[in-house]
Amino acid sequence: MFAEKHHPDKLSPKELDDYLARGWYRMGQTIFTTHFLCFGNRFYAAIWVRLPLAGYQFSKSLRKIIRRNSAHFQTAVAPATITPEKEELYQKYRHSFPGMLSPSLQDSLLDGGDHNVYNTFEVTIREGDKLVACSFFDIGQDSAASILGFYDPAYHTYSLGLYTMLEEINFCRYRGMPFYYPGYVVPGYHRFDYKLRIGPVEYFDVADRHWKPFSELPAGRTPLSEMEEKLALMNLLFKAHRLPSRYMHYPLFEANLFGFWSASYLEYPVFLLCAAPPRDAGYIIVVYDVRDGRYKLIRCTPFDDVGFYLNDAFLQNFSPEHFFTELIIIEEILLQSANPEFITLALHKLRTLK
- pLDDT at 278 (0 to 100): 55
* Beta-carbon contacts of residue 93 (< 8 Å; ≥ 6 apart): 101, 150, 151, 152, 153
Strands 120-127 and 74-79, sheet pairing: antiparallel
CB atoms within 10 A of CB 8: 14
One digit per residue, the tens of pLDDT, for the chain of length 354 reads: 899 999 999 999 999 999 999 999 999 999 999 999 998 889 999 999 999 999 999 999 999 999 999 999 999 999 999 999 999 999 999 999 877 889 999 999 999 888 999 999 999 999 999 999 999 999 999 999 999 999 999 999 999 999 999 999 999 999 999 999 999 999 999 889 999 999 999 999 999 999 999 999 988 889 999 999 999 999 999 999 999 999 999 999 988 887 667 788 999 999 999 975 555 668 999 999 999 999 999 999 988 765 555 566 677 778 888 899 888 999 999 999 999 999 999 998 887 765
- Distance from CA of residue 316 to its chain's centroid? 23
- The helix-helix angle for 223-240 and 340-353 (nearest 10°) equals 50
Amino acid, res. 41: N
**What domains, with CATH codes, occur in the chain?**
4-216 (3.40.630.30), 223-353 (no CATH)
Q: How far apart are the first and last CA of the chain?
A: 31
Tell me how far apart the alpha carbons of residues 144 and 262 are, in angstroms, rounded to a whole number.
30
What are the residues facing 265 on neighbouring strands?
329
Peptide bond into 153 cis (omega under 30): no
On whether the CB atoms of residues 131 and 151 are closer than 8 A, the answer is no
Tens digit of each residue's pLDDT (9 = 90 or more) over 261-292 = 778 899 999 999 997 555 566 899 999 999 99
pTM: 0.91
* Cβ burial 211-234 (10 Å sphere, 16+ → b, else e): beebeebeeeebbbbebbebbeeb
DSSP label of 49: E
Could you give phi then psi for residue 129, rounded to 5 degrees? Answer: -90, -5
47, β-bridge pairs = 185
Task: Provide the pLDDT for residue 148.
Answer: 96
Per the DSSP assignment, residues forming a β-bridge with 76 are 124
Give tens-digit pLDDT for 167-183. 999 999 999 999 999 99
User: How many whole angstroms separate alpha carbon 138 and alpha carbon 118?
Assistant: 6
How far apart CA 29 and CA 7 sit, in angstroms, is 7
The three-state secondary structure class of 280 is helix
pLDDT at 311: 62
Amino acid identity of residue 309, one-letter, is Y
